[in-house]
């Protein structure tokens, strides 16, 4: 498996991003090869989240030392958003599409990252979704509510689709997430004719297998990409950060819709990834999200590729 830091946003775009996003650097793409497949982790920018969004259900007396050890500073959290692109010589596949312009100002930069590696929206043959949250789904449409990846077949797990397309979801979801539900349903309804649904365990495209990883959302999917003897797991938000998710995977996270189930999924993934020494790409992990899981006495840690 070969890895290189690929590129940054063009100078003018990077300067504008830094000016508008509080000076945080915005990378464009990181590249690795898995067998004969090229994978790029593309930046959609980053989110700006209150700490309580993740930390609210965690034991406060234990949380502080973990955050200090991991070097997590005070103030809002600003996790990266990493969209995975796979090219196998025949298909050009996006895993998630970022948030577009309708969610947070600091995100929605995917088109710039694609441009940096000279991939146009019409080059995308398939768009595969881990789940239906705004930072993964809302970039499906452009600013005029037209399909952004108009040549692509769109794919989502059946359980996830059924959840977000259901009008009752907006009535039953936590009130803080109602906008997410309304926004997801509107976009999925507009794109319904372009979607194909799949189930857990299916090889949805050559060398790409769906793995149900529920809890963050009801039908959240990860995807195992395999070529020859090598593989990497696109984990989406099943592992949502590089600090407490690794150090204490069994802790509930406020970012998850079913916190108990998500913690069980997270702990199982940590064990699998560390035991099998399989690489992962995490949507909200640093360094393009590419790395591996290392077991520690009291938990795990994220080791970026090349570190």
pLDDT tens-digit map of 135-159: 999 999 999 999 999 999 999 999 9
- At 174-205, the pLDDT tens digits run 999 999 999 999 999 999 999 999 999 999 99
Type and span of the H or E element at 94: strand 92-95
pTM: predicted TM-score of the whole model, two decimal places: 0.92
Q: In whole angstroms, how far apart are CA 18 and each of 23, 25, 89, 122?
A: 4, 6, 34, 28
Query: From CA 142, how far away is CA 34, in angstroms rounded?
Result: 31
CB of 262 closer than 8 Å to CB of 245 = no
Burial 248-269 (b: 16+ CB within 10 A, else e): bbebbbbbbbbbebbbebbbeb
Structural domain span for residue 122: 2-304
* Dihedral pair phi/psi, residue 299, rounded to 5°: 165, -140
Query: From CA 185, how far away is CA 251, in angstroms rounded?
Result: 30
Instruction: Please count the structural domains in the chain.
Output: 1
* Dihedral pair phi/psi, residue 296, rounded to 5°: -120, 170
Query: From CA 55, how far away is CA 20, in angstroms rounded?
Result: 27
Query: From CA 165, how far away is CA 189, in angstroms rounded?
Result: 7
Residue 112 sits in a domain of what CATH number?
A: 3.60.15.10
Query: From CA 225, how far away is CA 26, in angstroms rounded?
Result: 26
Interval 221-235 mean pLDDT: 97
CB of 37 closer than 8 Å to CB of 88 = yes
């Amino acid at each position: 498996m070969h890895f290189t830091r690929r590129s940054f946003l063009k100078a003018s775009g990077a300067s504008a991003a830094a000016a508008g996003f509080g000076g945080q650097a915005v990378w464009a793409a990181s590249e690795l090869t898995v067998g004969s497949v090229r994978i790029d982790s593309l930046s959609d920018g980053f989110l700006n989240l209150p700490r309580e969004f993740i930390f609210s259900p965690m034991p406060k007396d234990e949380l502080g030392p973990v955050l200090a050890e991991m070097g997590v500073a005070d103030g809002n959290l600003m996790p990266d958003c990493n969209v995975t692109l796979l090219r196998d010589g025949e298909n050009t596949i996006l895993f998630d599409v970022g948030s577009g312009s309708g969610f947070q100002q600091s995100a929605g930069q995917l088109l710039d990252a694609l441009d940096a590696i000279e991939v146009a929206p019409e080059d995308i043959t398939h768009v595969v979704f881990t789940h239906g949250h705004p930072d993964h789904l809302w970039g499906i449409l452009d600013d005029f509510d037209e399909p952004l990846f108009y040549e692509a077949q769109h794919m989502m797990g059946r359980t996830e689709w059924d959840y977000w397309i259901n009008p009752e979801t907006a009535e039953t979801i936590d009130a803080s997430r109602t906008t997410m539900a309304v926004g997801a349903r509107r976009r999925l309804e507009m794109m319904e004719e372009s979607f194909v649904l799949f189930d857990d365990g299916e090889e949805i495209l050559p060398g790409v297998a769906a793995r149900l990883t529920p809890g963050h959302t009801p039908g959240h999917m990860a995807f195992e990409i395999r070529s020859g003897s090598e593989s990497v797991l696109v984990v989406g938000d099943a592992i949502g950060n590089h600090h407490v998710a690794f150090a204490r995977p069994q802790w509930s996270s406020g970012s998850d819709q079913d916190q108990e189930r998500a913690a069980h999924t997270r702990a199982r993934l940590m064990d699998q990834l560390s035991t099998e020494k399989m690489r992962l790409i995490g949507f909200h992990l640093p360094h393009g999200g590419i790395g591996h899981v290392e077991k520690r006495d009291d938990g795990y840690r994220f080791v970026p590729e090349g570190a």
